Amino acid sequence: MNASQVGFLVLLVLPSLLVAGNPSLVNRLETIEETAEMVTSRGGKGIYVQVDHTDRGQVETLFERIRHEQDGRLDILVNDMTGDAYMEFKPFAEHSLEKGLKVLENGSLSHIITSHLGVPLIIENGKGLIVEVTDGINYELREFNFYYDLEKAINIRLAQSLAHQLRKHKIAVVALTPGMLRSEAMLGHFGVTEENWRDGIKHQRDFAYSETPFYIGKAVVALACDKRIMSKSGQALVSGKLAREYGFTDIDGTQPIWHYGM
């Protein structure tokens, strides 16, 4: 089952992707136009909009457009913006303060701005789902970068706090983490493609438990279709564990699971 089959209006806030003809902050060639085409090819209706989610004015314009074009309907909000484009793998004392603050601005402040302006639309629907994409389910230290660690912890707390405040509106809010994500960037890092990705295991054994971006997407759909979703509101969840609970698989038919503190 996909989101289009059950008639969801989903706003997916993606990391910095290229708009055709313009450079990406993370030097990737993939475009938001291509992402929208992927949604449409799988039965939905993909609509791409370039928005700086740290700019309140641009986000307000986005929700005004949703109100006008979609009759104000918003069922699911997925905050997946990240600050990785400014991350340096350096100790706190050596990391650029300017870049560090950008990590927090892109990776957490943007989530807060988007949720603040989008929640009223979801409240008007009478129910809904907000997903905070993060890394990890506990407050374990991500020692390789202070700012990244803080960003991900903030997003988990954001989900917990919003879940408490929005429960009366029947809006579920969860933090959701993938395992090791087999994204285009990760495939490129190991010098492999989706067709021969297992060759990357020789460089890092944990890559054997990696998953495609479709896996966490299926997790979002499963959560949205769960009539008892409010029982999970406020929790930090793992894509692989949800796959076993709801019975979905990654696109290759497997159910990889990353054991975050479990």
Full DSSP string of the chain: --GGGGT--EEEE-SS-B-TTS--TT----BHHHHHHHHHHTTS--------TT-HHHHHHHHHHHHHHSTT---EEEE----GGG---S-TTTS-HHHHHHHHIIIIIHHHHHHHHHHHHHHHHT-EEEEEE-S-SS----TT-HHHHHHHHHHHHHHHHHHHHHGGGTEEEEEEE-SSB--HHHHHHTT--SSSGGGGGGT-GGGGG-B-HHHHHHHHHHHHH-TTGGGGTT-EEEHHHHHHHHT---TTS------S--
Rounded to whole angstroms, the Cα distance separating 163 from 174 reads 7
User: 86, 148, 215, 246: which one is catalytic?
Assistant: 148
Rounded to whole angstroms, the Cα distance separating 133 from 152 reads 9
Provide the β-strand partners of residue 79: 13, 132
Does 148 participate in catalysis according to the annotation? yes
Residue 230 near residue 169 (C-beta atoms within 8 A): no
Q: Which residues does the annotation mark as catalytic?
A: 148
